[in-house]
Structure 1
Amino acid sequence: MEFTLGPKIAGGAQGTVYRVSGHPEYAIKLLNRPEDLEKIAVVRRLPLDGLPVAAPITLIRQGGHGYLMRLASDMTPIREPYLPSEVGPRETNAAWYLSTGGLKRRLAIAANMADSIAALHERGLAYVDLNPNNVMVSDDPGRTETWLIDTDNLTSRTDPKWDLLGFPGYAAPERVTRHSPPSTLSDTYILAIHVFRLLVLRHPLEGIAADALDGDTARTLRDRGELPYVGDPSDDSNHLAQRSFPAGIFPIVMSGRMSQLAERTFVAGRLDPTKRPGSARWREVLFSALDNVIECASGCGWTYYRLRMACPNCGTPTPATTLVTVYPSWDDKPLTARDSFVVSDYRDTSVMPRHLWGRYDQLDPVVTLRPESDGLEMTARDDASVIDGSGKVIKKIPKLSVNKVYRVRLDVNDRPSRFLAVRLVQPA
Structure 2
Amino acid sequence: MSAKKSVKPSRVVQDTKGSNYELGNELSRGGQGIVYFTQYPQVLIKGFTNKDPQVRERWRQHIAWLVRQDLAGLKIARPLVPLAEPRCGYVMELMDGLESLQNLLESYVAAGEDAGKDYLQQGGLRRRVRILCQLARTLNQLHARGMLYGDLSPSNIFVSDDPAYAETWLIDCDNISLESYSGLSLHTADYGAPEVVRGDALLSSLTDVWSFAVIAYQLLTHNHPFKGELVSDGDPEEEDAALRGERPWICDAQDDANECFVNLPIQLLEHSGLPALFARCFEQGLERPAERPGMAEWLVALTEIDERMIECEHCAGATLVAQSLDSLDEASCFFCDKPLDDTAVLFEEFISLPKDAEDNDTGKAFATGRKIWLQQGKSVELKRLMPTFSYDRWPTDHIAIEYTEQGLSITPLADASLHLARGATVKLLERRQGLRANLRGQHAEHYTLHVGELAEPHVFWQFGW
TM superposition score normalised by structure 2: 0.82
Report what 1:50 is aligned to: 73
**Corresponding letter in the other structure for 2:377:** Y
Q: Please, which of 305, 316, 320 is the counterpart of residue 320 of structure 2?
A: 305
CA positional deviation for 1:202: 1.1
Aligned length: 412
* Alpha-carbon separation, structure 1, partners of 2:396 and 2:47: 36
2:218 pairs with 1:197: yes
Which structure exhibits the higher relative contact order, with contacts defined as CA atoms closer than 8 Å and separated by 6 or more residues?
A: 1
C-alpha displacement of 1:187: 0.7
Query: Where does the alignment leave 5 or more consecutive residues of structure 1 unmatched?
Result: none
Q: Does 1:12 align with 2:33?
A: no
Q: Is the 8 A contact 2:108 2:119 kept in 1?
A: no
1:158 to partner: Cα distance: 2.5
Shift of 1:316: 1.6
1:392 is aligned to 2:427: yes
- Distance in 2 (alpha carbons) for counterparts of 1:199 and 1:400: 36
- 1:349-364 counterparts in 2 under 5 A? 349-352=380-383, 355=386, 359=391, 361-362=393-394
- Residue 400 (structure 1) shift: 4.5
Tell me if structure 1 keeps the 8 A contact 2:231–2:258: yes
> What residue ranges of structure 2 are gaps of 5+ in the alignment?
1-18, 51-55, 323-329, 354-362
Residues 48 and 263 from structure 1, CA distance in 2 versus in 1: closer, same or farther, beyond 3 angstroms?
same
Q: Matches of 1:133 and 1:167 in 2, distance apart? A: 9
Q: Distance in 2 between matches of 1:373 and 1:356?
A: 32
Identity %: 27
Answering whether residue 104 of structure 2 is matched by residue 81 of structure 1, we say yes
Q: C-alpha separation between the residues in 2 aligned to 1:400 and 1:196?
A: 40
Instruction: Mark the structure with the bigger radius of gyration.
Output: 2
* CA gap 1:352/1:53 in 2 versus in 1, 3 angstroms: farther
- Indicate how the Cα distance of structure 1 residues 357 and 235 shifts in structure 2: closer, same or farther if over 3 A, else same: closer
Distance in 2 (alpha carbons) for counterparts of 1:373 and 1:85: 36
Distance 1:92 1:197 in 2: 18
Match of 2:279 in 1: 263
Task: Give the counterpart letter for 1:252 in structure 2.
Answer: L
Q: Determine if contact 1:232/1:267 at 8 Å carries over to the other structure.
A: yes
* More moved, 134-143 vs 322-331: 322-331
Q: Given residue 153 of structure 2, which amino acid in structure 1 is its aligned partner?
A: N
The answer to whether the Cα contact below 8 Å between 2:148 and 2:176 also exists between their aligned partners in 1 is yes
Residue 217 of structure 1 corresponds to: 237
Match of 1:223, as an amino acid?
A: L
Tell me which of 207, 210, 215 is aligned to 1:186: 207
With normalisation by structure 1, the TM-score equals 0.88
Query: How many angstroms apart in 1 are the aligned matches of 2:234 and 2:107?
Result: 19
CA–CA distance in structure 2, aligned partners of residues 416 and 61 of structure 1: 59
- Residue 407 of structure 1 corresponds to 448
- 1:47: Cα distance to partner? 2.5
Task: Give the alignment partner of residue 340 of structure 1, picking from 361, 371, 389.
Answer: 371
CA distance in 2, matches of 1:279, 1:180: 20
Aligned equivalent of 2:263? 245
What is the deviation of 1:176? 1.6
The 1:107/1:83 distance shift into structure 2, 3 A limit, reads farther
Shift of 1:212: 1.5
Aligned counterparts of 1:143 and 1:84: Cα–Cα separation in 2: 17
Summarize the Cα distance change of 1:396–1:219 in structure 2 as closer, same or farther, 3 Å threshold.
Answer: farther
Compute the RMSD of aligned alpha carbons: 2.6
Helix, strand or coil for the counterpart of 1:366? strand
* Corresponding position of 2:295: 279
Contact 1:269 1:276 survives alignment (8 Å): yes
Instruction: Give the drift of 1:341.
Output: 1.6
Distance in 2 separating the partners of 1:251 and 1:403: 35
Flag the 1:95–1:385 CA change in 2: closer, same or farther, 3 A: same
Against the structure 1 CA distance between its residues 212 and 356, is the aligned structure 2 distance closer, same or farther, given a 3 Å change threshold? closer
AA partner of residue 303 (structure 2): F
Offset of 1:8 from its aligned partner? 1.5
Between stretches 326-335 and 300-309, larger displacement belongs to: 326-335
**Is the 2:397–2:414 contact (alpha carbons within 8 Å) kept by the matching residues of 1?**
no
Q: Using the alignment, how far apart are the partners of 1:156 and 1:365 within structure 2? A: 33
In structure 2, the residue matched to 1:208 is 229
Moved more, 130-139 or 391-400: 391-400
Question: Of 253, 264, 281, which aligns to 1:233?
Answer: 253
Alignment deviations for residues 25-70 of structure 1 (CA, whole Å, 9 cap, x no partner): 1111111133311111111222211110111101002463111111
Q: Relative to 1, partners in 2 of residues 1:369 and 1:357: Cα closer, same or farther, differing over 3 Å?
A: farther
Any conservation in 2 of the 1:26–1:73 contact (CA below 8 Å)?
Answer: no
How far has the Cα of 1:364 moved from its partner? 6.9
